[in-house]
Amino acid sequence: MDLASLSQKALEHGLGSIEDNLGPLIPFTLVVDESHPDPTERRIVLTRFAAEFLEESLQQAQGSIVPGPGIARYAIAWDGYVTVEGRKWDAILVEAGDASAPDGMLLAQRYEAKEAGFFSKKRRNVGVGNPLAVGSTPSRLWTGNP
């Protein structure tokens, strides 16, 4: 799975995790493990990081991404904010990087709570617009070797 696909998967999983509007997103990582010699056995590993404070959870997720054998790409997802045209939005943020490139990317998917239906008092979080490229960030897997 390439970096763009992994990033999209992280955004979709993050938005799906908070869709029911029952609480904040627990920060998580997706790591592509290519250590198995058979390409059909390679996998994406999802790990959630729960701590007393969301900031701690995010720090744990970020600290878990270290270069290692077979670790090709990663994505870290958390709940945060992004400002677009002067408006502050709730957003799923994703940092993603690759072992073969010095720079990773930071993406955001805006969302807002909407009523689930005409007769329903429940609210659901729904994505707003397309994912946004927020900027670049150093890849946590880059070791300086192409």
The angle at the Cα of 37, spanning 29 to 75, to the nearest 5 degrees, equals: 15
124: domain range?
Answer: 3-138
pLDDT score, position 146: 54
Mean pLDDT across 13-28: 90
Is 146 inside any structural domain? no
- Do 49 and 83 meet the contact criterion of CB atoms below 8 Å apart? no
Which tokens is 53 given? 């404070």
pLDDT score, position 69: 86
Is 133 inside any structural domain? yes
Confidence bin at 144 (pLDDT 50/70/90) = confident
- Per the prediction, the chain carries an average pLDDT of 90
Q: Which residue has the higher pLDDT, 40 or 2?
A: 2
Q: Which residue has the higher pLDDT, 9 or 43?
A: 9
- Do 104 and 81 meet the contact criterion of CB atoms below 8 Å apart? no
What are the pLDDT digits (tens) for 39-79?
Answer: 776 789 999 999 999 999 999 999 999 998 889 999 999 99
Is 129 inside any structural domain? yes
Is 74 inside any structural domain? yes
Is 143 inside any structural domain? no
- Residue 131 pLDDT greater than 90, yes or no: yes
Confidence bin at 17 (pLDDT 50/70/90) = very high
Is 33 inside any structural domain? yes
The number of domains in the chain is 1
pLDDT score, position 89: 95
